[in-house]
Structure 1
């Protein structure tokens, strides 16, 4: 509560200060080759920054408000950040409760200057899963018509039907037993689910969902800068083609894999699992800071052994400690599955981007699903 109040006070103070500085920043806007000022775009999440840069090209300055190497779940904007946001032409955020500070920030923005884009508005979102949960490929409905077309004939439907039977019932009984033994952990997980508005925000890990977010970004750029609408449309189409190919590559890989279940550090991969008919077993809930109790740790180790899971997958911006302990106890390997909530400083310096990291994720899953 104190942290939230402090963040709110910082935002209000910064926005009050920003009124004096906005005019000066407008006079120093970079110029395009045509001599006109570039529009300023701020994003709250790396995949949105990637999409915005791809679409905007040379006609906008795009920056992510969360620095490289910072876990976005823990991010709170500084007064300097808020002054920068007050000069934005476009402010693009993920929505679905992911950025807890955004609501207060948006309230203080000058809507005549800054267009605010909630990129998950209107999308079909999944419910947030707690820790030590099983996210099935059949949960929820497709975010867009046709998203599941490629799964017909690939075995995804049969996989979903099987899970709706005895396996799904067993999973539910298993979760009820764990909840009874670890009431405080379950309550803590629900607190974090509430922070996310009860929905899973990690939509960008389904390439088709990021494509839908990118289309919203394109539309906002066109509305703000009609002079370059043709360029924005062309760039969007190129990005959409890349995402369509990535989607096809994942579908092809999964169709040739013998397993459909993978274990991850926190439940960031429900949209990816849903898209390709996979099952995510998560050590922690939506927030990677949530940790399982000792009894849950024991159950996870047993689950790895019983289900012949060969990898326990952790991520880049959160501690791998728990995943490493489970892997060691179960006698299996560890690997990295990147939720792309942000780039590490090393990834940024190496020129990694959304596409290259998602291809790395594809290869890691290929190994884990053998």
Structure 2
């Protein structure tokens, strides 16, 4: 395995308690007519990007209205927040985001003054995933420290102390976030607490079933190594005993060094790799180039940062099952 754990950012139970406490004021703000717009009697939830939007919709259902800051087709790491969006944040009853994934969102939340905020990163354990075989990719040159700072500001960083934010690609960790946000909704809107609890339990049951599908589907494979343009699959790899080899590290658009491409050619040969994966929201140029040089195939492994008409599925579960099918095919599942 090419991953290593860091000390957890916070215990799940403590994080849930903190998240629920932070939302206590929300129940008083909603009132009988509900929402700050006072129109539909529903909680107004703003989610930072698709995985959190989907989670809020699945748990809140008829009792919430959910808006997202990252529109379909927009690469979340590259998101820019408009002044209008920042102002609209303050009108939300609850904002659900994942700190450090999108620095523009972090900044907008701070500027908006919105009080009821749930950080999904505090509802599970974040880890650092070590680069695989020198995955840093681009060779550092003079002035690169400044470039790295800009790189992090643009949203391509992996959080504090190198922590990986892509927790939703592990169904078990995604379920932990669901439990935490469900508890926060129960606290914010106690009149519908029973419904939120029921919806959370149903979602967690589905995620547990998905976890079982991945475990069974990837138990026996000819290879354990997969190559992908975007190093977003560290949690998935760790959960199911696989090794992730990223072409360009955390930024799917970055150009890998010639040395990295040569190294990946060797890895592909040594580990019986058959396929180079790319994603739907970023260019497939580097994946295609490596595949051409090594005689490999290409296929999609979707980090699920957004859903478009090009996605291999209409929602989280459909795309995750497409990912499983593509991994099984590439790894030679038996």
TM-score (norm 1): 0.73
Structure 2 counterparts to residues 114-133 of structure 1, below 5 A: 114-121=115-122, 123-127=124-128, 129=130, 133=131
Q: Distance in 1 between matches of 2:195 and 2:49?
A: 23
Where does structure 2 lack aligned partners over 5 or more consecutive residues?
Answer: 1-33
In the TM superposition, 1:89-168 aligns within 5 A as: 89-95=93-99, 97-111=100-114, 114-121=115-122, 123-127=124-128, 129=130, 133-134=131-132
| Alignment match of 1:366 (pick from 305, 322, 328) | 328
User: Are the equivalent residues in 1 in contact too, given 2:158–2:165 (CA < 8 A)?
Assistant: no
8 Å Cα contact 1:100/1:195 also seen in 2:
no
Q: Map of 1:202-221 to 2, 5 A cutoff?
A: 202-221=166-185
Which SS does the other structure have where 1:106 is aligned? helix
RMSD: 2.5
Q: Deviations over 1:184-216 (max 9, x none)?
A: 398656854756332111000000111111112
Q: How many Å separate the matches in 2 of 1:116 and 1:124?
A: 18
Q: 2:227, 2:283 → 1: CA distance?
A: 16
Contact 2:101–2:157 (Cα < 8 Å) also in 1: no
Give the 3-state SS of the residue equivalent to 2:121 in structure 1. coil
Match of 1:329 among 293, 313, 332: 293
1:106 and 1:74 mapped to 2: Cα distance?
A: 17
1:42 paired with 2:46, answer yes
SS in 2 for 1:324: helix
Over 3 Å counting, the alpha-carbon distance change for 1:48 and 1:78 in structure 2 is same
Given that 2:123 and 2:180 are in contact with CA atoms closer than 8 Å, whether structure 1 keeps it comes out as no
Alignment of 1:16-55 (within 5 A): 28-31=37-40, 37-55=41-59
- Given that 2:47 and 2:97 are in contact with CA atoms closer than 8 Å, whether structure 1 keeps it comes out as yes
Q: When the two structures are superposed, what TM-score results if normalisation uses the length of structure 2? A: 0.81
Q: 2:112 aligned with 1:184, yes or no?
A: no
Q: Distance in 2 between matches of 1:51 and 1:346?
A: 21
Contact 2:158–2:164 under 8 Å retained in 1: no
Q: How far did 1:289 drift?
A: 2.5
2:73 partner SS: coil
Unaligned runs of 5+ in 1: 1-24, 32-36, 135-170
- Which digits, 9 at most, give the CA deviation of each residue in 1:235-263, with x for residues without a partner? 01110000000000000011122221111
Deviation at 1:361, TM superposition (A): 0.3
Change (3 A) 1:92 1:256: same
Residue-by-residue CA offset, 1:26-70 (whole Å, 9 max, x unaligned): 675552xxxxx1110000121111111000010000111100000
Query: What aligned pairs does 1:293-312 form with structure 2 within 5 A after superposition?
Result: 293-312=257-276
The whole-number CA distance in structure 1 between the counterparts of 2:61 and 2:221 is: 38
Counterpart residue number, 2:7: none
* Paired position in structure 1 for 2:12: none
CA drift at 1:351: 6.9
Partner of 1:146: none
| Aligned counterparts, 1:203-282, within 5 A | 203-282=167-246
* Counterpart check, 1:196 vs 2:199: no
Where do 1:65-84 residues align within 5 Å?
Answer: 65-84=69-88
Out of 217, 225, 250, which is 1:286 matched to? Answer: 250
2:167·2:173 contact (CA, 8 Å) conserved in 1? yes
Larger radius of gyration: 1
2:305 aligns with one of 326, 332, 341: 341
